[in-house]
Amino acid sequence: MNLRALSLFILVVVVNGIQGQPLSPAAPLTVLSKEGRRPLAVTLVGDQEFVALDDLAVLFQLTVREETLGAITVSYKGKTIVLTTDQALASVAGKLISLPAAPVRSGRRSLVPVEFISRALTTVYDTRLDLRKPSHLLVVGDLRVPRVTIRYEALGTGARLTIDAAPRAASVVSQENDRLAIKFDADALDVALPQIPAQGLIQAVRVADAVSIAVDLGPRFGAFRATAQPLDAASRLTIDVVAAQTDTSSPGSPASPSPGSPGSPTAAPSAAPLPDLSGVGQSASAIRTIAIDPGHGGDDTGVVGSGGTKEKDLTLAVARRVKAAIEGRLGIRVLLTRDEDKKVPLDDRSAAANNNKADLFLGLHASASLRRGTTGAAIFYAAFDKDAEDKARASLGTERLPTFTGGSRDIELLTWDLAQIRHVDRSEQLAHLLEQQFHDRVPLSPHPVERAPLHVLESANMPAVIVEIGYLTNVDQEKQLTANEFQNTLVQAIVDAIVKFRDALDADRGTR
């Protein structure tokens, strides 16, 4: 400390000795703008945070003048804020603005409460200023800086992180060795980190960089699943983590068969609903998008039961449930070919699935029979007559086409209306997996898996089936089909079949 600094120090002590409140440096504010981030020094007087007017002048191109005794003017582009040194007030164009404290002197600098920024400076400044006191951030301009709150909870033998970003911000989760990286689509983050108790699954949650959070994984980590869900004004990301399979600290687990694949981690039984981790590794999965086609719609009501149930309403209700379950539990995108009561041509339904590159097509219908006693679900996959198959196979040639980069590549040509032909084997496999999962849960018809020349399936360029969920012409089954409990069971069976199907595809592709 040189002599000048020493004398300033003494002066400060004397000045504040008079006021009875010591000055002490505090954690700086971080100023975020398009130009980047920079610190803004903060000084504590008592428990009030102050910033220096000359620091603000540099940051925001303000002109600060000490006027006649006791008055300070702060000007920006012709607008002026007037402060008085002994008053907790500012005035702008004749309007008084209250401040939590009066300006103080620190040596030759004038300090103002940080609230000066949010209450007074914002009234003259031409760019948005967003002061976030709890997180010590000052956001300048229209930057996307979501407030991210993270909650930890133990869940059975696993753990869950619930990460809310407000306003909404999309995020991507990836595993990099011993950590999960959560990268947000934002300019910066305003993060509140949780306390993590010791449990061996999640060691720590920390800020990795301006837009990423890192989750350090512990020795018990086995697998994780991330699910995104939009809330009213926030995005919610739920990350479920389960222990490695060798970590079977729960003696009761063999008694509870898991619906998941044999290779996936089995969660122990618990009162709390445990995460279905069948979505683990979804980024590498063969199924990323599923098209669900609720049959009929609009003036095409489909079958009408004696109780008045319309097939078009039933299929839409079930389709919505299946969509919610698949998206919520598996994190797979689901496209509905219709999400309202309207007529959609069959070709448009398969075209929507094709254009959205769906990896699986699931049509939903209900059946009718002249024999009122007929009941049970059935699963259909496409049938082609011999001629059509020959024609399709003949057209399955390749053609060499020029590319934009000057080379050429082989394009597989296929008659569009017979796109299903090369997926028929997979469609049959999916039909049988559905039958297996329905078994003992959803009543099946005597011939539950059938081939039929169904137009909507023929042009679907992915494994495709239609599930006839039951007979609306049977009085008892009509009641059953519209009941919550039955629909939940049906949806779970469909989800389980999709998990099995995906596991089979992934195993074939060697992605696991």
The residues of the shown chain that bind Zn ion, judged by CB under 5 A, are 295, 302, 365
Instruction: Select 82 or 490, whichever has its Cβ closest to Zn ion.
Output: 490
Q: How far is the CB of 333 from Zn ion (least distance, A)?
A: 25
Nearest to 265 by CA among 255, 279, 251: 279
Q: How far is the CB of 219 from Zn ion (least distance, A)?
A: 53
Contacts 24+ apart (CB under 8 A), 24-31: 27/136, 28/136, 29/114, 29/131, 29/136, 29/137, 29/138, 30/136, 30/137, 30/138, 31/59, 31/138, 31/140
Instruction: Select 45 or 303, whichever has its Cβ closest to Zn ion.
Output: 303
Q: How far is the CB of 315 from Zn ion (least distance, A)?
A: 7
**CA-to-CA distance for 485 and 471, rounded, in angstroms?**
17
Nearest to 420 by CA among 456, 471, 378, 447: 456
Q: How far is the CB of 302 from Zn ion (least distance, A)?
A: 4
Residue, CB closest to Zn ion: 365
Q: Work out the end-to-end distance of the chain between its first and last CA atoms, rounded to an integer number of angstroms.
A: 64
**CA-to-CA distance for 254 and 356, rounded, in angstroms?**
41
What is the H or E stretch that residue 228 is in? strand 221-230
**Cβ-Cβ contacts under 8 Å for 247 (sequence gap 6 or more):** 157, 220, 222
> How many helices (H) does the chain have, and how many strands (E)?
11, 29
**Cβ-Cβ contacts under 8 Å for 397 (sequence gap 6 or more):** 413
Instruction: Select 156 or 376, whichever has its Cβ closest to Zn ion.
Output: 376
Nearest to 240 by CA among 220, 215, 228, 223: 223
Burial class (CB in 10 A: 0-12, 13-18, 19+), 231: exposed
> Which pair of structure tokens corresponds to residue 154?
């133990």
Tell me the residue ranges of DSSP E strands in 368-502.
Answer: 377-382, 398-402, 408-412, 444-452, 464-471
Q: How far is the CB of 237 from Zn ion (least distance, A)?
A: 38
**CA-to-CA distance for 411 and 295, rounded, in angstroms?**
33
Q: How far is the CB of 178 from Zn ion (least distance, A)?
A: 51
Instruction: Select 216 or 300, whichever has its Cβ closest to Zn ion.
Output: 300
Q: How far is the CB of 352 from Zn ion (least distance, A)?
A: 18
Contact (Cβ atoms closer than 8 angstroms) between residue 83 and residue 101: no
**CA-to-CA distance for 120 and 83, rounded, in angstroms?**
10
Instruction: Select 76 or 380, whichever has its Cβ closest to Zn ion.
Output: 380
CA atoms within 13 A on the CB side of 420: 28
Q: How far is the CB of 250 from Zn ion (least distance, A)?
A: 45
Instruction: Select 202 or 366, whichever has its Cβ closest to Zn ion.
Output: 366
How many other CB atoms sit within 10 Å of the CB of residue 400? 9
Q: How far is the CB of 367 from Zn ion (least distance, A)?
A: 7
How many other CB atoms sit within 10 Å of the CB of residue 84? 16
Instruction: Select 156 or 302, whichever has its Cβ closest to Zn ion.
Output: 302
**CA-to-CA distance for 458 and 109, rounded, in angstroms?**
79
Nearest to 437 by CA among 260, 254, 292: 260
Contact (Cβ atoms closer than 8 angstroms) between residue 478 and residue 346: no
Instruction: Select 295 or 448, whichever has its Cβ closest to Zn ion.
Output: 295
Instruction: Select 343 or 509, whichever has its Cβ closest to Zn ion.
Output: 343
